[in-house]
Amino acid sequence: MNFPKNLTDKLERRKLNKSLRVLPQPNDLIDFASNDYIGFSKSEAIFNAAHQFLLDRNIKSNGATGSRLISGNHFLYTETENFIAQFHQSESALLFNSGYDANVGFFSAVPQKGDLILYDELCHASIRDGIQLSNAKSYKFKHNDFEDLEKKIINFNGNNNEKTAIIYIVTETVFSMDGDCPNMEELITVSEKNNCYLVVDEAHALGVFGEKGEGLIQYLQLQDKIFARIMTFGKGLGCHGAVVLGSEELKSYLVNFARSFIYTTGLSPHSVATILVGYHHLEKDKNALELLKENIVFFNQVKKMLYLNPLFIRSKSAIQSAIIPGNEKVKSIANALQKKGFDVKAILSPTVPEGQERLRFCIHNFNSKEEISSLMTCLSSLL
C-alpha cells in the first residue's frame, strides 16, 4: 500500500529544513546529552537492591496485569506512594506511568469549562498536550514574565462574569531546553494575590536541587503554597514513571477522572520497586548530589574563563544551553564535538523556535573536571 502523499510531503519539508528526526544509534561517547544527572540509571547498587527487594517480598510478577482500578494495584504502589508523599512533604502522591501521562492526565481532567489556564510559553509539550485536551480556556504568558502573567489575570477577571471560574498558573522549576528557573517566591505572590492555583512541573529539578534532591520547591520551603507538583523519574531518579503530589482530594479526583491513569495498565512491580529504591538512595546518597553541584559550578567557571558566557542562557541547573542559530550550523558543531568523543546533541527547530537552535549540554555527577574542560575548549575552538 502506498504511503499517503500528504504525509510524504511533510517528511520532505523536514528534510529540506534540515530538521528531520531520526533515532540515534547507541554510542560510547562521553555523556553530555542524557538527563541522568546523578548517574542513577547506571547504578548497580540500585539495580541489585530493587532485585533483592522483590525477592525478599517473594514478588515474581513481570507485569501489573491490568489497570490499577481493576487488577494492577499491587501493594508496592501503596508503600511507594506513602514514602514519596512523606519524602516530598505532601499530603498525597499518585503514581503515573510516565511524566507525559501525568501531565496529560492532570491538565485534561482538572481545569474545567469556564476556568482559565495560564502557562509559561516554554512549558513542555506534554503540558501543552494536556491543556489542549482540557475544556478550559488557555493562554501562554511570556517566559518568566510575571507582569505579563498578571495582565492576563486582570484581563480575564475583568471580562469574566462566571464567579466560580478558577485560574490555574502553570510553570516548571527547571525548563528543559533553557535550564533556567523562575522566581518562585514572586510567582507565588502573584498567584496568592489573585487567588490562583499554582501547578509546577519539577521534572528536571528532582535529584538536582535540595539537600536530598527533593526539587526546587522544597529547597525554597514553598511546598505548602503549591496546588500540585509533578515529579518525573526518567531524569534524576534514573528510572521510569511520575507522580502527582497534592491533597488527598486531588488524588481521589485524579483516580476518578484522569483518563491516562484510568485506562492504562499499571507499572510492573519491578518498575515500582525501582522507584522506591531510587528514592531511598536519593535520601542517603549525599555524595552524588554534591558531585553534581560541584560540576555545575565548574562548568560555569570554565564557560566564563573561555569567554563563552554570551552564547549561553543563564542557568544554575544541570542543563546548559548555547544558542547557535540555524539547524545546519548547530548540527555541524554538534557533529564535530561528537567526532572529538563528546555526546552533545543539537536541538533544532521546530523543537525550539527558529533562530533559537542550540547545543544542549547536560551536566552529570560522573563527568570529570578534565572532561568538562576538554569539552569546552573544543567548543571554543570550533566557534
Specify the pLDDT at position 17.
84
Looking at the predicted structure, is the pLDDT value of residue 160 above 80?
no
Is 70 exceeded by the pLDDT of residue 359?
Answer: yes
Give me the mean pLDDT over the 110-114 stretch: 96
At residue 158, the pLDDT reads 79
- Residue-level pLDDT at 323: 96
What is the reported pLDDT for 24?
86
Q: What percent of the chain has pLDDT over 70?
A: 99
CB atoms closer than 10 angstroms to residue 15: 9
Q: Is 307 left (phi over 0), alpha (psi -120 to 50) or beta?
A: left
380 confidence band (pLDDT: 50, 70, 90): very high
Q: Which helix (H) or strand (E) holds 120?
A: strand 116-120
Domains of the chain: 27-44+286-382 (3.90.1150.10), 61-284 (3.40.640.10)
pLDDT of residue 161: 67
What confidence category does residue 19 fall into, taking pLDDT thresholds of 50, 70 and 90? confident
Q: What is the mean pLDDT of residues 208-227?
A: 97
For the segment 277-289, the average pLDDT, to the nearest whole number, is: 94
pLDDT (mean) for 6-18: 92
Amino acid 274: pLDDT: 98
Residue 300: all three cell numbers together: 560555569
Q: Which of 359, 381, 362 lies closest to 299, judged by CA?
A: 362
**Cα(67)–Cα(254) distance, integer angstroms:** 14
pLDDT reported for residue 350 = 87
For residues 62-81, give the mean pLDDT: 95
* Report field, pTM of the whole predicted structure over 0.75: yes
In what side-by-side order are the strands of the sheet with 167-172?
A: 92-96, 242-246, 228-232, 197-201, 167-172, 116-120, 137-141
Residue type, 178: D
Q: What is the mean pLDDT of residues 323-338?
A: 95
Computed over every residue of the chain, the mean pLDDT equals 95
Amino acid 159: pLDDT: 76
Alpha carbon of residue 123 to chain centroid: 10
φ, ψ (nearest 5 deg) of residue 105: -65, -45
The set of cell numbers assigned to 214 is 527533593
Mean pLDDT (whole number) for 307-335: 95
Is the pLDDT at 214 greater than 70? The verdict is yes
